Structure 1
């Protein structure tokens, strides 16, 4: 589920042109636009520097100021902001800057002429782009008007064959809006459907059950992993707390060694544990933060070991029975009423998904948005875990990761919950304590990107100006696509890119990554909104430019 701060699919040497949505992907991006000020300290002299960052549809741009030298608007050749890391290249002065955004501070290093100096940038609060101002949003008194705007938006998406799924809104614990949409535009499938795969939203549910054990004194946040799985690398150093908030240093078993989609086939605990041990540790526990499905896989096994009950039995005892839920399933229950996922390649085509027995407690639960809203409201009302446990689960300060709950920021509003997805379905469960609003959705067919769907709904809810996404249903003749296919490579990144035609549609595929469809935008321009990818071909130069997350990369045809 893909809305967007905390972007945590970690591929250090490859462009993440495919989103592994069982991993958490954030919903709204952390604010980087505006002016950032810092001081270089060299041999006792201080030199102030200011970077002014803007964002447009192509990505980020910036300029630099050196007030002491009376130099203003120095062009910055390259501005990249991804996974909370900022990179600036300024050829005019032969300088580079790399830093990590932490709240309202960027900590990094400025390098020039072989000299590297620490440089901490702090937000000045000045926004060069007025549209990016962090305006204070207020929930309208008349929510009926907001609901009408949201309903019109969804009708627009449905009419243009852009989305299929379900959305639910609660206010003060009661449902004020619900709509299932777009399913009639998809190829028919047998049976009656009422549930969606929710991916990593499962993790909030798993974390809640872990905290129930802590409340019963059957487990402690400081317990070591070695108490349960001594064979896992660094197990004697890793705590339950670190697995909950992704600071354990464990890898991510969902990412296969040679096949990123290895879990679409039935696996077993022996093979998964072998993969976990093979991946080892990516950093020392507690020294960094990296999203880890492995941590939650092991937490699920710990839950089952302590209770001597299956995950399904624990789910029933903690959620299904006390909340009287009749539409909440784990993989072990083999639910038959789940909506199938689809990709759009000029037409909707069914998409292969996980064997969810491989991700029990990690991303296997199937339910609907109404049930998700019931769950998140009960969690925040202290009816699932205690208020003390809820406080422990919540993110602290500028950290967007809590212990099973993450921050979902939308301008001045902070929602809390989790996003998630599978190879074909994107979901969100989020709650705003200030307005007592909860917002959940699941999309099993998505052309505009789940993040854009969420931004649209929340913008209309808060009566914020919002422009509908432009949708192009024009079908391009195959003869017009023939100039694009081929093998491409880039000097910027070590990633081979294959462009090919299948079923009369254009596809792209990174080396060792799944293929994804390219949707026509305009002459020589295509996009894949689910991953925020745009590709611009320049056939006469035998090149393409790939744009994602504010980054631009040029590829040459071999």
Structure 2
């Protein structure tokens, strides 16, 4: 997710079974199992055990959302299905009383209520029905309560969910997300006797499922502590109203008041104190708090992490969690070696600056000096390469990159594979993260020094700093204590795609340990690696040709191999790294002489039970020095009529667009390629997300017109201009017929153009399908991203190609079908 910077966040995949269709009745295959406290004949529970997930349900589905071919961009049809009662013939969503085997007609098909006993806490609808997209399922259960109970349900869903209790709609959340247990807190006033619980779960794409349970005291107390750490006053009000103990401790000794204090939410602290929070409860030590983070995320036989924390030259905390090798049960220790990915860029930049200090090159030298035949090499300088402003297309962004990443390559061969690619923009005009630039820098180091990249770093950086456990990774070397890389896919850990690190070069080929990276930070920030002038240059945020500060990584800055941000008022200088199987982060708070190193060996990791966030670790030690921040409480006095002015598109970094829409009395925001989330009013102009610590403020000019939005997250902020809404031209849809077909964009893959009714759609292989809108009979534009498509005809009037324009980039696709 765009908003989760520096977090390890997760993709959940499922194994699914096939669909069996008998005549027109949908009857899936499922596995059954015995479950306590319920009738084996139906989904009927005799009371509910707190914290036990409801695994037995009567389920009906999969009911399609679309009559024909699904259109992911057609939100109106999807929301219409979410609002539609598909059960009207049998009592409706408010009164349905299903039985196993009961059939129900929806549209042209009949569906059968099926008794399902899930073997896991998450009811996996893909396992039941097979992979189905844009479909609806209902899940029903009856709960016979010996006494009335005011409970809170923990509900997770993929994707949107509605919940009815005894015919009353008690919860709805139109959202796109993976299943995370207890994502939603749902008040449930269970009466004495029989209670009917109905869930409606609507899938968009990919995985599909849900989880539901009555939360017990321990889970509720954990929710309270978590809500306090997020400054979520809405959730705190709800939890405390249900009798949760305001002074409850988790198993690590943390209270809600501790969590709010560390998070810097002063008004949350005041609120908790007003509710009886005890200020005299001793806060756990920093070491205990870090243990709490890692032990909650890394559990059982799983890959893990090594972490180191230091300040003023002293190591405060250092340990390992999980396994470096699952197959051989080798634990991770501080001595474990990890591939560090793009943290390598710091070393590449330092080597370049060392060579400049030796008068062997200048950051103002042109690329053509080192590679004379490089296209536009006279326009690109080493400075451009160091700062990601060259405009050279990043080779790791090419669609076929991962197809060859396991094969060793010589630097000249890899450079040859991308040097003729079109530039993304003119050098110095924009900022765009670029691995090609740093691969070229690694090659330049070799040409100028006369040594291999590996030998140069070893001789001039690693050996002088006693970094004995750091080097350029090579497949032939047998490294002691090396971590294997894993990915979490299809519900299990498996070996990750194993890069041949010759493909990463100066952009990311190094391995290291937490101790060595600590030594590196100490040396860099104490002037033992670079001169004062070189260090100043490295730590200066790049500016563009027009004199503006580059909008790097949100509103952060980027220098020579280091990126800069401000975390709750404290300056941070850092870099992260990521490749299949490894995610890493090295940070320094220079004014506090504070270092955090986190190295992990799983990417993508399992579904998110938390995060291994170096900034969270820094907060544990530095929270007293950090700025406070406002808590989040929905201002119910704000009239929804003010939302109308905010509806529209806002330009976010890297060409992304934030779509703001109003649905009834609610406001939603959706970033390109991400789910849609509701945003909640703090005031008439300030809104916040509940799914992540992020806020947006809408800004008006003197005429009352919204001109831009200010996005704030993680101590950073940037302006997002409100984009002018372009009205599609009035073009005869019959014109679209000539454009239907497939277009070959070479390294970027095949794009398919389709027509549905009076609408035209385009889809690049492996990406979502988007509607394109006419600007003229041959020119079209997208609304979800700043891009245009131009169809080109030959002299005979036949369409021969389509040109994609995005920013300053133009890519031609030849029509092949």
- Indicate which of 296, 319, 323 corresponds to 1:156: 296
The structure with higher relative contact order (CA 8 Å, sep 6+) is: 1
For the residue of structure 2 that corresponds to 1:295, the secondary structure is: helix
Separation in 2 of the partners of 1:457 and 1:147?
Answer: 10
- Indicate which of 190, 197, 212 corresponds to 2:354: 212
Aligned CA distance change for structure 1 residues 5 and 149 (closer, same or farther; 3 Å) = closer
* Residue number in structure 2 paired with 1:354: 499
- Indicate which of 540, 554, 568 corresponds to 1:411: 568
| Corresponding position: 1:339 with 2:483 | yes
For 1:66-465, what aligned pairs fall within 5 Å after superposition? 145-159=285-299, 164-183=304-323, 186-188=326-328, 194-332=336-474, 334-337=477-480, 338-345=482-489, 346-396=491-541, 399-445=556-602, 446-447=605-606, 452-454=611-613, 455-463=615-623
For the residue of structure 1 that corresponds to 2:591, the secondary structure is: coil
Shift of 1:450: 12
Separation in 2 of the partners of 1:511 and 1:267?
Answer: 32
Deviations 1:254-312 (A, max 9, x none): 23353444222223334312222231311110111111111111111111111101112
Separation in 2 of the partners of 1:2 and 1:183?
Answer: 29
Shifted more, 185-194 versus 416-425: the winner is 185-194
Q: Does the 8 Å CA contact 2:296/2:610 hold for their aligned counterparts?
A: no
Separation in 2 of the partners of 1:288 and 1:235?
Answer: 17
**Count of residue correspondences:** 364
Separation in 2 of the partners of 1:349 and 1:444?
Answer: 11
TM-score, structure 1 normalization? 0.57
Aligned CA distance change for structure 1 residues 441 and 306 (closer, same or farther; 3 Å) = same
For the residue of structure 2 that corresponds to 1:317, the secondary structure is: helix
Shift of 1:184: 7.5
Shifted more, 170-179 versus 129-138: the winner is 129-138
Q: Does the 8 Å CA contact 2:565/2:571 hold for their aligned counterparts?
A: yes
Q: Does the 8 Å CA contact 2:487/2:580 hold for their aligned counterparts?
A: no
Aligned CA distance change for structure 1 residues 6 and 431 (closer, same or farther; 3 Å) = closer
Shift of 1:231: 1.7
Separation in 2 of the partners of 1:461 and 1:358?
Answer: 38
Deviations 1:481-538 (A, max 9, x none): xxxxxxxx999985579xxxxxxxxxxx7589xxxxxxxxxxxxxxxxxxxxxxxxxx
Separation in 1 of the partners of 2:283 and 2:315?
Answer: 12
Deviations 1:353-382 (A, max 9, x none): 210022222111011122111101211111
Shift of 1:347: 2.6
Shift of 1:152: 2.3
Aligned CA distance change for structure 1 residues 156 and 4 (closer, same or farther; 3 Å) = closer
TM-score, structure 2 normalization? 0.40
Separation in 1 of the partners of 2:263 and 2:293?
Answer: 23
Q: Does the 8 Å CA contact 2:395/2:401 hold for their aligned counterparts?
A: no
Aligned CA distance change for structure 1 residues 354 and 244 (closer, same or farther; 3 Å) = same
Separation in 1 of the partners of 2:391 and 2:261?
Answer: 36
Q: Does the 8 Å CA contact 1:377/1:431 hold for their aligned counterparts?
A: no
Q: Does the 8 Å CA contact 1:195/1:339 hold for their aligned counterparts?
A: yes
Aligned CA distance change for structure 1 residues 389 and 130 (closer, same or farther; 3 Å) = farther
For 1:403-552, what aligned pairs fall within 5 Å after superposition? 403-445=560-602, 446-447=605-606, 452-454=611-613, 455-463=615-623, 494-495=762-763
Q: Does the 8 Å CA contact 1:3/1:451 hold for their aligned counterparts?
A: no
Shift of 1:315: 1.1
Q: Does the 8 Å CA contact 2:309/2:317 hold for their aligned counterparts?
A: yes
Separation in 2 of the partners of 1:324 and 1:360?
Answer: 22
For the residue of structure 2 that corresponds to 1:286, the secondary structure is: coil
Q: Does the 8 Å CA contact 1:200/1:421 hold for their aligned counterparts?
A: yes
Deviating above 6 A after TM superposition, structure 1's stretches of 4 or more consecutive aligned residues are 128-138, 189-193, 489-493
Gaps of 5+ in 1: 8-16, 19-56, 59-76, 79-127, 470-488, 498-508, 513-558
Shift of 1:237: 0.7
Shift of 1:457: 2.6
Shift of 1:425: 0.1
Shift of 1:156: 2.3
Shift of 1:451: 9.6
Q: Does the 8 Å CA contact 1:372/1:429 hold for their aligned counterparts?
A: yes
Aligned CA distance change for structure 1 residues 449 and 363 (closer, same or farther; 3 Å) = farther
Separation in 1 of the partners of 2:303 and 2:429?
Answer: 41
Q: How much is the aligned-residue C-alpha RMSD, in angstroms?
A: 4.3
Separation in 2 of the partners of 1:269 and 1:360?
Answer: 8
Aligned CA distance change for structure 1 residues 286 and 167 (closer, same or farther; 3 Å) = same
Separation in 1 of the partners of 2:473 and 2:364?
Answer: 30
